Structure 1
C-alpha cells in the first residue's frame, strides 16, 4: 500500500519540479542507442525544456556519494532544495537541448566524507579548517562546509556518450552544530552570510582543482553554486546565493543568485516576501477552513527567484475518514485554488491526515487548471 502511495507522490513531485527545474508535465518518448558492448537509453524529458536522463544497460546510474551528502545536511528539506535548485541553475550552463542528465559519478562516498571533514593529520583532504581547540561558540573555528552535491551532464549517445559538464552545489552552514563531548549537549556557532560567501568561494576553487585531477573529467565546464543551508528546525529549505563556472582551471566571475524561501502564514510577526501572494493565500486559507470545520491546519511554503514565485507547496491537515468527504473536499480545494492562488507559478497542494496522504492537487506554471489525484487508501 505504502509503495503505491509513495509512487503516486513521487509522480506528483516530478510535476511540481517545474518551478525549480522546469520538470513539468511528462513526455513518454525515449531513445535507445545500441553498440556491441553496451546499450544507452534516455528516459524522455519531463517537458519541452527539461533534461533527458541517462540509463545504461537498463539501469539508472545512482550517485555513490548522495547518501553520504544527505546525511550531512542539517535539514531534510535542503536535500531536495539543493537537487532541484542546482538542476534549475544548471540549465543556464548546460542546455537541456544539448545535454542529458546523469547523477554524479565522479565524487565517491569516501571523497565526500573526507572532504566534508576538518583538515587534520588523519584527514589531509578535509575542506573545513582545522580546529583551533576552542569549544566556545564565539571563539572556535566553525565548519563552514556542511554538504555537497554533484550532477553530471552528458552529450551524444551509444558508444559516443561523453561527459559534457559537471555541476556542484556546496551547502554552506549558516549554523554549525557541535558537541563539546560525545553524546553531550548540542551547541551552535552562527556563521554570517559574508563568511559563508568568502569560505564558499575558497572551497569551490579547491573542489574544481580536485575534480580536474580526476580521470575522465578533462576540461569540461564545471559549474559551482553556493547554497546557504537552513537551520535544523526551519520549516523551509535554504537557498542558493552565488554561482560561477570554470571553463579551465579557475572559476570565472561569480554572479549573485537571488533566492528566498518562506512560510505562510508568516510566524513571529515576520514580513511576507510578497504581500500579494500572502494575501491570496490568506483568502484561500479562510475559504478552505470555512468549508470543513475539522481541519488541523492549512500552511504553505513559498520559494522565490529574482522576486518571482517559483514554487508554492500547500499542506492541508485533515481529520477526514470518509472517502466521499475527501473527494468533495479535494474538488472544492481545487476550485478555490484556481480562483485565489497565484497564477503562472507551479503549485502543489497535499491533503493529508496524520498518517495518510489523501489527495494531491497540482498545477505547473504553464497550466490554467489544477489536476487532482485522490488516493484510494484501502
Structure 2
C-alpha cells in the first residue's frame, strides 16, 4: 500500500538523527520534495512513464533469467524497449502490459532442428560418436546469435491490444557448454562478429514479424521491433538497442531500419572519464558532498550514463550504504535531492539507494522537473 509521508520534518533534525555534525548552507524547500512510502519490489520500473496494467503476468515470465547472463542487461532490455516504444505508443494514450501473445519464444530462440523447426538459431549436425572437441568446434563455427525475445503490449483503458513492441536480444559472445562421454562438462566461448550479429538480427526480425502476423489478435496492429546487443558476463554496464523498425498496421514486412546510436558509460572508469570528464567530476563531487554530512556512514556512488552521440539521455546512480532506518533514508534523500537538481539540472537522473536490506529509496528527477522520492518499506 502506498501512503504519503509528511515532509514537514526539518532537514536539520533528520540529518542530526543520522549522526551528522554539519548542515548544508542551502537546501531546497522540503515541502516541494514529493516523498512516498511504498512496499518494495518495483525496482527499475520506478521511473517509467507508463501506467501499468498489473493484473496480467507475462506468458514467458522468468525466461529472461535463463537466457540473459546479467541482471543489468535484463533491466535494460525491458526499460530500453519501453523508452523506444514511447515514440509510437504514447504513455498519455496507452497502458503498458506484460507480453501475452508470444507463447513459443522458447522454441524460437532455440536452434533449428528436426525436433524444433521454429528455431531461429543456426542448425548444427552433431552425432553421439563425436568427441567433445569436435562438438565444441562445430558450435563455435555456428554460434547462438539470438538469446531472447522480449514482448511488451500496449493496450487501451479497456485492455484491448493496440500495439506490440518486440526486442530481439542478440549475443555478442556465445558461451558454450559441451558434455563429454564421461559426463564431464567443457566450457568454451566465441566472440560474435558485429556485422554478422547485425545481419542475423535483421533476418531473424523478418521471420518474427511474419510469425507474429499469424497470431490471433495481432494480424493488423502496429509492431515496433528492435535489436539489442547483450553484453558479456559480469559486465558493469548494460548493452543497448542499436536498431529498430516500425511496422504499421496491416503491413507484413520491415521496410527500413533506424539506427540507435546509444552507448552506456560507467563512472568511475577510464572510459567514462575519457567520454565525459565533466560528468565524472560532477559525480565525484556529489559523492564527496554527501559524505561530508553523513560522516558515520560509508556511502559509495556508481554512475551509469546513457549517451546518444554526445548527448546524455539518462543517468542512473546506485548509492551503496549501510543505512537501514527510514529516518536515515529520508534524511539522506532530502539532503541529496537539491544537489541532484544543482549538479544535473537538464539530465534525467534516477538514484537507487541500496542497503543491506535491498533498495530502500528511489529518487526520480526527470528533465527540468521537480524530483520526487519513493521510500521502500519491507512488507
Give the alignment of 1:127-138 within 5 angstroms: 127-131=120-124, 133=126, 134-136=135-137
Which of 177, 198, 203 is equivalent to 2:175?
177
Task: Describe the shift of the 1:151–1:258 C-alpha distance in structure 2 as closer, same or farther (beyond 3 A).
Answer: same
Aligned to 1:65: 60
* Residue 307 of structure 1: how far off its partner (Å): 3.7
CA-CA distance at 1:223 after TM superposition = 1.6
Report the CA distance between 1:244 and its aligned residue.
1.0
Cα separation, partners in 2 of 1:131 and 1:356, compared to 1, 3 Å: same
The reply to whether residue 317 of structure 1 matches residue 310 of structure 2 is no
Q: Is 2:82 the partner of 1:84?
A: no
Q: Which of 1 and 2 has greater Rg?
A: 2
TM-score, normalised on structure 1? 0.77
Which residue of the other structure, out of 226, 251, 254, is the alignment partner of 1:251?
Answer: 254
In the TM superposition, structure 1's runs of 4+ consecutive aligned residues that sit over 6 Å from their partners are none
Cα drift, residue 329 of structure 1: 4.0
Aligned residue in 1 for 2:47: 16
SS of 2:316's equivalent? strand
User: Equivalent residue for 2:90?
Assistant: 95
Deviations 1:118-149 (A, max 9, x none): 11111111110013554139942100001111
Higher relative contact order (CA 8 A, sep 6+): 2
Aligned residues: 331
Q: Is the 8 A contact 1:320 1:326 kept in 2?
A: yes
* Structure 2 match to 1:205: 206
In the TM superposition, 1:154-193 aligns within 5 A as 154-155=155-156, 158=158, 162-181=160-179, 184-193=185-194
The within-5 A match list for 1:278-289 is 278-289=280-291
Structure 1: state its 5+ residue gaps: 18-22, 24-49
Measure how far apart 1:366 and its partner are: 3.5
Contact 1:349/1:360 (<8 A) preserved: yes
Contact preservation (8 Å) 2:40, 2:378? no
Superposed CA RMSD in Å reads 3.1
| TM-score after normalising by structure 2 | 0.76
